[in-house]
Amino acid sequence: MATIVENIESKKRFVLIGSSFSYFKEVTENRFFKFLRNTEQGEFEVITISNEKGEILFKNADEFKVVEIDGKPISEILRWQQ
């Protein structure tokens, strides 16, 4: 089952290999005052895709949309459910 995704901006297509959700929290100490700490945290969704050369790429999921599954447009697949 092949899932094809398209970059929203460039319209270039890729094969979707997988997806992941990640959360991070980074704590750094102040160089001069050890009791002061800077905390940065966030979350992001990442997809793993492959291009026409078979290269594996990790990209931000917000930049892509699903356009085909098994050669059928996503709109055709979802139409029968409504």
The Cα 44–Cα 21 span in angstroms is 6
Outline where DSSP puts E strands in the chain.
Answer: 3-7, 13-29, 37-50, 56-60, 64-69, 72-73
The Cα 65–Cα 14 span in angstroms is 10
In the prediction, which pLDDT does 33 show?
67
pLDDT digits (tens, 9 = 90+) for 23-81: 777 777 766 666 666 777 778 899 999 999 999 999 999 999 999 999 999 888 888 65
In the prediction, which pLDDT does 61 show?
94
Is the predicted pLDDT of residue 3 greater than 80, yes or no?
A: yes
In the prediction, which pLDDT does 82 show?
54
